[in-house]
Amino acid sequence: DGGITQSPKYLFRKEGQNVTLSCEQNLNHDAMYWYRQDPGQGLRLIYYSQIVNDFQKGDIAEGYSVSREKKESFPLTVTSAQKNPTAFYLCASSIRDRSSYNEQFFGPGTRLTVL
Amino acid sequence: KNEVEQSPQNLTAQEGEFITINCSYSVGISALHWLQQHPGGGIVSLFMLSSGKKKHGRLIATINIQEKHSSLHITASHPRDSAVYICAVRSSNYQLIWGAGTKLIIKP
């Protein structure tokens, strides 16, 4: 059945290492998003992509990178330049971005802990 | 001041109680979303509103565009309703702005 998968669910990383979080969707959605969630705060947009081979920075893109080589996949790399990477990361997708009635579908999330 | 404010931040109630969670926003919007985040982290969409009221089972969502306020109500609350409820607004330029969430615990 259709949905969004994120892997792994829990990820531990040593300081100074890059790490890539996976996000795959089989909903045939054009738009995909990466959010970061910290305790007591709303979701913050890291990057989004409205179409293959195109992506834009969100509100907190520094220290992160993405690629969108396939419609189904939108991996997020947390680089060593990200000063405070420990957080819960959520991936989402939607049919299209520029719509008032756009519903985003979320993956189960990846909890990243930097040791 | 955040553009989307939810209250209360935390709410604990007994099973069967009527629950109200509030969301106020300060920007012009084209739509407002209510979502539910389960303890495991997954998020599901509950409602999308641009006016009036919507009902789904024991959940009711209302919005007052003039007052820039929305409420999510849960009737006959149950422990399985325990979750974080998130309000998000889609601004006039299609940006999605998220509230911090309300953590609800329903005790049996």
Check CB contact under 8 Å for A42 and B31.
no
Number of A to B CB contacts under 8 A, please give it: 49
Residue B98 near chain A (CB below 8 Å): yes
Residue A43 CA to its chain's centroid (Å) = 11
Residue B79: strand, helix, or coil: helix
A80 to chain B, minimum CA–CA distance in Å? 25
- Residue A15, burial from CB neighbour count under 10 angstroms (0-12, 13-18, 19+): exposed
CB nearest to A43's CB, from B44, B94, B98: B98
**Do A42 and B101 count as a contact with CB atoms less than 8 A apart?**
yes
**What residues of B are in contact with residue A109 (Cβ under 8 Å)?**
41-42
Q: What is the pLDDT of residues B5-19, one digit of tens each?
A: 999 999 999 999 999
- The residue that leads in pLDDT, B70 or A2, is B70
Handedness of CA B80, B102, A75, A51 (dihedral sign): positive
The percent of residues above 90 in pLDDT, for chain B, comes to 81
pLDDT in tens, A35-85: 999 988 889 999 999 899 999 999 999 999 999 999 999 999 999 888 899
